[in-house]
Chains A and B, each alone.
Chain A
Amino acid sequence: MPGPAFFFYDERELFMAECDVKKIDVGDGAAIPEPDDRGMVSAWWIALLGTIGLLIALPLKDPSTYGRVLTFIPDGVLVTFEVTILSISLALVIGLLTGLGRISKNRFINLAASLYVEVVRGIPLLVQLFYIYFALGRFVRVPDIMAAVIAMSFCYGAYMGEVFRAGIKSIDFGQSEAALSQGFNQAQTMRYVILPQAWRTILPPVGNEFIALLKDTSLVSILAVSDILRRGREYAAESFNYFETYTMIALVYLLITLILSKIISIMEQRLSHYEKR
């Protein structure tokens, strides 16, 4: 779940404006290593090698327990990725609309977007999952995975909205004025000038959200969605090897988030080419 750091965006914006440092870099996902941060990089390597080592060594040592867990997990990994990718895609769309709504001068749109953010932020994700899952169930019959995706993206869309809002607001107002003075309308200014620059600012927190969302998909195992955790629980329930099961599950999640955080860090560097002197 994205943490309380988000409630401090306003102060952060002010602070960043003063320092002329316009990067949002908070999050509760796995730490995204900065290339020049030696300590972080080596911690990342130790964690990665340790995780891979344990994932290989434990099943070799005890194939009947650790080894068997691994045979259950792969299709769960696919489901976890499916839910994560669908949810983050939908959440990005909702987030963009919400972020634009939150900076809109139209009072009604602004209020609607703000209300959505306030309500979603105030309810625990697990409660929202149950609520949307069963509320949806009363009216329409949707596949379990779809229900999970809708619930996840509804929740993450609100947080993503705040990320977009902060990202858009971090772009110097002069950029808008320059575009407007050339004859671009508001929408064109947003599309051609502001969003391409905001995307750079937004990427680190979006990456954090992506990783946080991936971890939070473990909650959907409660909703009859066969993700990594549910597959593990299925195995544990029949074998009673709880300790071995959850050890392997933890290691699989860790491996995924470690790799993802690296990918995001690389993407971030690629996107910053126009900042280099």
Chain B
Amino acid sequence: MKNADPIIRIKNIDKYFGTFKALDNVSLDVTPGEKVVVLGPSGSGKSTLLRSINQLETIDSGTIIVDGHDLSDPAEDINRIRMEMGMVFQSFNLYKHKTVLENLTLAPIKLKNMTESQANELGLTLLDKVGIREKADSYPVMLSGGQQQRVAIARALAMEPKIMLFDEPTSALDPEMIGEVLEVMVALAKEGMTMVVVTHEMGFAREVADQVVFMDEGAIVEVGTPDHFFENPTHERTILFLEQIL
């Protein structure tokens, strides 16, 4: 798998918020089907990195190439590239004025010219997959956090993306709801989805990750397999972080 051409190729990117350097010369390759888990203390730039991949943040220098498309090339249509990448947010961000099913079908109908019945069929299948079909006609506000996040994952999948980006998907959840969301994510990983996951869930990283990336102060400090990362971390800052969190 390592020999395949990367589907995401991040090269020497920098990002500033004012004078604060949020990303410092970050490079990372993700091959198709690979699961990359990004760890690090808060403020280390991991969310910024993830958001840069689908250009919710624009980088100041360096290149990001997704599935052959250079994001900094003005000729590229960012909206088309974004359709290839599903994103799951910490705060779910379900469309509040739409029912659960409509949340899933809106984008496929409007952006892929799917008919309503096709989209509904796809939507219900995905709701089955995340185990929440019975809530199809509810509004997001009626759902628990865990349920909302599962719907958000299904909504992202409705565009049939090649890559899924997860931005701290369980951080806003009550502890008893984290499991149901991780379960869905693990199942998705087993199907071979390419995933980049920013999280604090060490268990998930151990179980699922092909590559663990540790970031601190905007830079990638250490990269490795979960075994290497959790058993034999080499960098001092990684060791310190693991001591604090485990």
Q: Report chain A residues within 8 Å CB of B110.
A: 184, 188, 192
Q: Give bound CA distance, A179 to B86, whole Å.
A: 11
Given contacts A274-B141, A277-B141, contact A183 B97 (CB under 8 A): no
A183 B159 Cβ-Cβ under 8 A: yes
Instruction: Report if A106 contacts B (CB, 8 A).
Output: no
Given contacts A174-B93, A178-B95, A182-B159, contact A277 B142 (CB under 8 A): yes
Q: Per-position contact with B for A167-197: 1 when CB-CB < 8 Å, else 0?
A: 0000010110111111111001000110011
Q: Give bound CA distance, A276 to B96, whole Å.
A: 11
Instruction: Report if A12 contacts B (CB, 8 A).
Output: no
Q: Which A residues from 183 to 235 make CB contacts under 8 A with B?
A: 183-185, 188, 192-193, 196-197, 200
A275 B107 Cβ-Cβ under 8 A: no
B87 A183 Cβ-Cβ under 8 A: no
Q: Give bound CA distance, A259 to B91, whole Å.
A: 41
Instruction: Report if B162 contacts A (CB, 8 A).
Output: no
A172, A174, A183, A277: the one within 8 Å of B107 (CB) = A183
Q: Per-position contact with A for B127-158: 1 when CB-CB < 8 Å, else 0?
A: 00000000000010110000000001001100
A181 B96 Cβ-Cβ under 8 A: no
Q: Report chain A residues within 8 Å CB of B98.
A: 274
Q: Report chain B residues within 8 Å CB of A182.
A: 82-83, 86-87, 107, 111, 155-156, 159
Q: Give bound CA distance, A174 to B51, whole Å.
A: 13
By secondary structure, the A interface counts as helix
Q: Among the interface residues B80, B95, B141, which one has the most CB atoms of the partner chain A within 10 A?
A: B95
Closest to A273 in B: B139
Q: Which B residues from 89 to 133 make CB contacts under 8 A with A?
A: 89, 91, 93-98, 106-107, 110-111
Q: Report chain B residues within 8 Å CB of A193.
A: 95, 97, 106
Give the shortest distance, in Å, between A270 (CB) and chain B (any CB).
13
A192 B141 Cβ-Cβ under 8 A: no
Interface size for chain B: under 10, 10 to 19, 20 to 34, or 35 or more residues? 20 to 34
Give the shortest distance, in Å, between A18 (CB) and chain B (any CB).
16
Q: Count of chain A residues with Cβ under 8 Å from any Cβ of B?
A: 23
Q: Report chain B residues within 8 Å CB of A276.
A: 139, 141
A192 B139 Cβ-Cβ under 8 A: no
A183 B96 Cβ-Cβ under 8 A: no
Closest to B80 in A: A183
A172, A181, A185: the one within 8 Å of B56 (CB) = A181
Q: Report chain A residues within 8 Å CB of B54.
A: 181
Instruction: Report if B3 contacts A (CB, 8 A).
Output: no
B56 A175 Cβ-Cβ under 8 A: no
Q: Which A residues from 14 to 38 make CB contacts under 8 A with B?
A: none
Q: Give bound CA distance, A172 to B56, whole Å.
A: 15
Give the shortest distance, in Å, between A43 (CB) and chain B (any CB).
32
B91 A183 Cβ-Cβ under 8 A: no
Q: Give bound CA distance, A183 to B160, whole Å.
A: 12
Instruction: Report if B79 contacts A (CB, 8 A).
Output: yes
Closest to B95 in A: A193
Instruction: Report if B85 contacts A (CB, 8 A).
Output: yes
Closest to A175 in B: B93
A177, A196, A274, A275: the one within 8 Å of B93 (CB) = A177
Q: Report chain B residues within 8 Å CB of A179.
A: 95, 107
A183 B94 Cβ-Cβ under 8 A: no
Given contacts A183-B82, A196-B97, A197-B97, contact A174 B111 (CB under 8 A): no
Closest to A178 in B: B93
Q: Report chain B residues within 8 Å CB of A197.
A: 95-97
Q: Give bound CA distance, A172 to B142, whole Å.
A: 18
Q: Report chain B residues within 8 Å CB of A273.
A: 139
B111 A183 Cβ-Cβ under 8 A: yes
Q: List 16 A-B contacts (CB under 8 A).
A: A172-B93, A175-B93, A175-B96, A177-B87, A177-B89, A178-B95, A181-B85, A182-B111, A183-B159, A184-B79, A185-B79, A192-B110, A193-B97, A197-B97, A276-B139, A276-B141
A residues bordering B, Cβ < 8 Å? Answer: 172, 174-175, 177-185, 188, 192-193, 196-197, 200, 273-277
B residues bordering A, Cβ < 8 Å? Answer: 54, 56, 79-80, 82-83, 85-87, 89, 91, 93-98, 106-107, 110-111, 139, 141-142, 152, 155-156, 159
Besides A172-B93, A193-B106, A277-B141, 15 new A-B residue pairs in contact (Cβ under 8 A), listed by A number: A175-B96, A178-B95, A178-B155, A179-B95, A179-B107, A182-B82, A182-B83, A182-B87, A183-B111, A193-B95, A273-B139, A274-B96, A274-B97, A274-B141, A277-B142
Q: Lowest 10 CB-CB distances: which A-B pairs, in order? A: A183-B83, A178-B93, A174-B93, A181-B87, A182-B107, A274-B139, A183-B82, A183-B79, A197-B97, A196-B97
